[in-house]
Amino acid sequence: MALPQDFLMELKYRNDIESVLSPYIALKRRGSNLVGLCPFHNEKTPSFTVYPENGSYYCFGCGKGGDIITFTMQMENLDYIDAVRKLADKAGLRMPEDNRDDKELKLKNDIYAVNAEAGRFFHSVLMSPKGKAGLDYFLGRGLSLKTVKRFGLGFAPDDWHALENHLKSKGFTDYIISAADLTSKSEKKDKFGKNITYDRFRNRIMFPIINIHGKVIGFSGRAMPGNEKQGGKYINTSDTPVYKKSHNMFALNFAKAVCSKQAILVEGNMDVIALHQAGFEMAVAALGTSFTEEQARLLSRYTKEVVLTMDADSAGEKATDRALGILDNVGVSVRVLRLPDCKDPDEFIKKHGNARFQKLLDSAMSAIEYRLLTAARDIDLDAVDGKLKYLNKACEVLAALNDPIATDLYAGRLASKYGASKERLLNVIKNIVEQKCNGKVRVELREISGALNIQKNEVNPQKGKYRRAAAAEEAVISVLIRHPDMLDSVLNRLDPADFLTDFNRKLYQRVTEILGTGHGFDLVLLGEGFTSDEIGYITKMLTVGTANENAEKVLDDSIKVIISERKALDNPDVAELDDASWAEAMAALSKDKKKKPIG
């Protein structure tokens, strides 16, 4: 059942777009609109524009666009109904009665339930004689029983079917157990010809992964010491309907309550748990993958500063460099904590204690200081050519700063320390900035062109085949949206069957349905019949204003082209509007490019 239009409009009015987007993006006012760095792709110059007047947004860099529902779907990795539900809860709106058999929602709830039961099973095994090896491991790593229970740590027995049999005894089906990625399929078949299933986690210590709402969404299983070569050191839940490892973080469910000023990002689960036990409950970690942009955006919702505390090895340095690059784009300050004479925070706290770690935390270096420090990696600073090489690399680091005062300060320090001219260094930095700006413009233009071409091919792949007709179809839809009083005239002349491209035909039908109810057009009314990419494409289509004074002529000529192209497809000899007339109409259409999408 489609959601009522009145409900959707009320949802929009109670959730103004600035309040929905601002927790994720630092927005600055530019005239009547707002701009910021796009959360969907890396950029240094803001190309993401928000239009409060009509409740829409569009990125001119990557082509993402839409309304509050589309944005919530994309940022929270939700489907349409769940995004509407989240916005309705935020606004205190009650969802309309929906008698649909919401299979997807039921599946998610069933997976949450089976994961919770699996977590209880793993924990009960850990606390039983069968889990002694696992409990000894945790206690040997310095964890208390209180910490073991708080994090719900567990043990998967060395048994092919222990968990599976337990879950089935609780009434869970093979389908749900498999959908939660708790079992795998063997190539062997049973007597009925079905593939035999077996427990995915066996003889491993278990870390339940809990989302910010307190629900178990997956597991990370570590092999027992000495068995790392059997199936890998770690096995993690693969993506499921409730779990995307790149969109969640370990222990954020605990940290979110105390990390508003500062969060500590570490590499491993054990580091997180050790820090929490030591009183540093703002520690979190990525999940079985490199730190991602999605995780950075998620973390930025709960904290103002991130302290990177990666392992003190080459892999940890690479992880730090990567995380710094990602966190640069989400509006949080970043510092780096380097661990002397210890591999990771867990080892450091055991060796030196909590107070010493707190001192390191308080004195963590800024991101720019860390980059200047690591720029000297593998360079002999005692040699003249080594100093020159380092200063050139340091200038590249400073050229990336968007802060003239900081640039001047650090350039002065470098000049003083290495006997160089501050003015010369500033000139080098200026030249690097200019070169990068020129190169960045070229890259961004290529990215924009590439993004639009990809989007075009994916959303309306027939546009390349029927260019003239597709352009006319988009013109009709644009005029109709801006001039709903022309609906009857258009319906009398143009049937959906006249459209040559399937996507524009579907959009035309939906737009005329909306206008036919007496509502003006609004993106929020398109409903779940369109994907996020399609909504973005529609928003792009509407960022070019349709000429008001020439609307009737544009509409008339566009309809003629559509009918002409349809007839030409059926009868190649028929043509009603020559290319010169069509070019004239399109010139009129493009005169009023206000770049303001319809809400």
Q: Which fold has domain 104-243?
A: DNA primase DNAg catalytic core, N-terminal domain (3.90.980)
Q: What are phi and psi of 35, to 5 degrees?
A: -130, 155
Q: What is the pTM of this model?
A: 0.64
- pLDDT band of residue 106 (cuts 50, 70, 90) is confident
pLDDT at 590: 52
Residue 552 scores a pLDDT above 70: yes
- pLDDT for 588 beyond 60: no
Question: What is the DSSP code (8-state) at residue 250?
Answer: B
Confidence of residue 269 (pLDDT cuts 50, 70, 90): very high
**What average pLDDT does this structure show over 466-490?**
88
**Average pLDDT rounded to a whole number, residues 378-399:** 89
Mean pLDDT, residues 126-142: 96
Q: How confident is the model at residue 265 (pLDDT cuts 50, 70, 90)?
A: very high
Dist. CA 201–CA 156, nearest whole Å: 6
CATH topology of domain 460-592: DNAb Helicase; Chain A (1.10.860)
For position 349, what pLDDT does the model report?
A: 93
- Write the burial class of residue 79 (CB in 10 Å: 0-12 exposed, 13-18 middle, 19+ buried): middle
Quick: pLDDT tens for 205-219. 999 999 988 999 999
Q: Is pLDDT at 580 greater than 70 in this prediction? A: no
Highest mean pLDDT (candidates 134-148, 282-296, 441-455): 134-148
Q: Is the four-CA dihedral 65, 66, 70, 72 of positive or negative sign? A: positive
Extents of the domains making up the chain = 5-91, 104-243, 252-368, 384-439, 460-592
Q: CB of 339 within 8 A of CB of 345?
A: yes
pLDDT for 7 beyond 70: yes
> What pLDDT was estimated at residue 553?
82
CATH number corresponding to 252-368: 3.40.1360.10
- Residue 178 pLDDT > 50: yes
**What fold does the segment set 5-91 form as a domain?**
DNA Primase; Chain A (3.90.580)
Tell me the C-alpha to C-alpha distance, in Å, between residue 334 and each of 303, 305, 331, 377, 439. 11, 6, 9, 21, 27
* 466 vs 316: which has the higher pLDDT: 466
Q: pLDDT at position 546, please?
A: 46
Pairing mode, strands 263-266 and 305-308:
parallel
Residue matched to tokens 């009918």? 563
Question: What confidence score (pLDDT) does residue 572 get?
Answer: 55
pLDDT at residue 163 tops 80:
yes
